[in-house]
Amino acid sequence: MQETVELTPRAADMVAAFADHLRLERGRSPHTVRAYTGDLTHLFAHLARVGEAEPDDVTLADLRTWLANQHAAGADRATLQRRAAGVRAFFAWAARTGRLPSDPARALRSPRVDRRLPPTVEVDQARRALDGLAARVEEAGGEEDGAARRRDLAIVEVLYASGIRVSELVGLDTGDLDTQRGLLRVMGKGGKQRTVPLGAPALRAVDAWLAVRPRLARAGAGRAMFVGDRGLRIDARVVRRLVHRALGAVPDAPDLGPHGLRHAMATHLLEGGADLRSVQELLGHSSLATTQLYTHVSGDRLRRAYQQAHPRA
């Protein structure tokens, strides 16, 4: 069992101050703050074991050795890339704010990550999943059961229509929907706001849900657009289970959660002729390179179609 090493007071104070910076100044999500501070705690605990526990003592070689040790222990590339990014952000902040005289992580490079998309949902599979939820609405008996089923249909329609993240969906308020224009105001990563359109089926589903929302919502729900069975703002874990269940009802569909619907929305838009910049804006990607990943999926399908259909493929 690995020995637990406590951080020095200076290292602990700097990590705590960096967490405040991420949360208050950069608007990072609680998940990101926990991940970055956890990685920094891991780094300084490692340095304490080798006799260099203070942030002032850290060198580029120390950081490279730390990452190399994790790679040797089996950490995957995505984890190493996140940890390298967190360390670079921390030391750049520390140098910029005068907490350290220089930035030892400036030349730290991340391991290259194989950028692969998970299996995505086909257009017909998404349609059948939504049709299945709509059929459950028609079969609903009691008032509460009917309201919950309308909510479930609206959630999946919105996720597939807009491609928003599950964290963005659970944060929606009723005032974020402009029914007349068919637009949804979304608060994304880093506190960045964007507007995404909703198609007619999603708008109808949301309108039908909001009409019965008072049957489930309690006073503590405030203006939350979607509430859970207990009447409060719905939890992301509930939404994930709902999407898995909806897709699981389609025999040949992959077992995916909300992020799978986000991938599907982007892929289907590109295959339908949407330009990459528009998809980037809809998804809220800060970098076009992230959105370009979806073009590989479309390209693979075009290549397969070509090979199957062209006489000289």
By annotation, the residues acting in catalysis are: 165, 189, 259, 262, 285, 294
CA neighbours closer than 13 Å in the CB half-sphere of residue 146: 12
Residue 102: alpha-carbon gap to chain centroid: 33
Q: What is the SS3 assignment for the chain? A: CCCCCCCCHHHHHHHHHHHHHHHHHCCCCHHHHHHHHHHHHHHHHHHHHCCCCCHHHCCHHHHHHHHHHHHHCCCCHHHHHHHHHHHHHHHHHHHHCCCCCCCCCCCCCCCCCCCCCCCCCCHHHHHHHHHHHHHHHHHCCCHHHHHHHHHHHHHHHHHHHHCCCHHHHHCCEHHHEECCCCEEEEECHHHCEEEEECCHHHHHHHHHHHHHHHHCCCHHHCCECCECCCCCECCHHHHHHHHHHHHHCCCCCCCCCHHHHHHHHHHHHHHCCCCHHHHHHHHCCCCHHHHHHHHHHHHHHHHHHHHHHCCCC
* Cβ atoms of residues 248 and 182 within 8 Å: no
Q: Cα 163–166–172 angle (5° rounding)?
A: 90
Tokens 């659970």 sit on residue: 170
